[in-house]
Structure 1
Amino acid sequence: MDVEDRLLGMIESFLFLMGDEGLSRPQLAALTGRDEDEIEKALDRLLTSYEERLNSGITLRVFGGSYRLVTKVEFADDMKRLLENPSPKSMTQASLEVLAIIAYKQPVTRVEIDDLRGVKSEGPIHTLIAKGYIMEKGRSEGTGRAILYGTTDLFLDRFGLQSIADLPPLLHQEEDETEDADLFMTRFQEAFSMEEEGGTDF
């Protein structure tokens, strides 16, 4: 692998990990140790590669100065089928944990989710966005203006809720915001288990 191919691979990896938050040219330059002119050329080359490859379902886009990997427009109908027919039962434990935290704590940043779970949450967040259960709800007011996540109308529909106010109460919930993540998830599952008995399609 030559130096330029390695740079493209690094940029692609960083953008994949950052998901919908993306990275700016200065951030990519700092992460790769290259100057911004080199980064811009590499991004152009990466974009060209994605656009020329008919067997690639992703491409590169810039939003507000941040570069992100996104699905190509021509696959929109295929993505729509996935979003219209998500299966809550197919979600991993990690995705359920993240969905529980977002549902009850929204709007919430990824850092806040990570802090509560004790592990990184990029993967589950990407999964939940792809399934249409969560979406961006703006930016926080703090340093860096992190993305705020919240649930979608599809989440309400799939979980049989009219609004977020209809979420089942967490059993024996304490006021302590630093409560153990496992206990938090157990309460979420217990709450929806009770809803299942009442006929909710979970």
Structure 2
Amino acid sequence: MEHMPNGVVEDGEDVPRARSLERVCEAMIFAADEPLPARRIADVYAEVTGLPRPSEEEIAAAVARLNAAYEDTERTLRIHTWAGGFRMATVPEVAPFLRALFAGQQPRRLSRSLMETLAVVAYRQPTTKPEVDYVRGVDSDYALRRLLELNLVDVVGRSEAVGRPLLYGTTPAFLEQFGLRSLDELPNLREVEELLNDPAFNRERARLLMEKGLLDGAEAGQTPTGEKDEASDA
């Protein structure tokens, strides 16, 4: 089923059903605490109404019409596809007001060692602790435990290597945290290297981190010279 711009339903389409789907999608996505897959919306719709289960294409079209309506009426909400599901978020233009509103709340901060460990897991998954240790050059036991507690990493199986060590991989919460639809959206390592070597990127990154309270002015001008004490990671 094709969707039309500006929230218009196509000729020949079941208009009451389409409008009903829009309302259900909007309510469920708004109320959900995590990205909501289209299949889950379809299952709930069929269960509650007793009507035939809508296709995921119908759900996607309903979401597209909602976004078109939000844009046409200059609302601050948009529905994004993150971590394999739909999530409602505000537009960037209102970010300064939300930052001021929540100024007293400390954001969750990932230390350099946690970010390094998370990056190794993300790019090499499924991977074992010895492999993570080898890439980082330090013991990663604490970092992996913290990432497990933060639900950014999970155990996804066991390796066939000697001793059958645990295999680690990233979680849907990781995708949501970094605004990714899937792992396919991770930049390749060459792109990462080019970005990290770009002074303009580093200045912009430092500015954004300072705005979010994740970096102070002194840190912004510093280059890490050694491994941070694992036990002091937040």
TM-score norm. by structure 2 comes to 0.36
If the length of structure 1 is used for normalisation, what is the TM-score?
A: 0.40
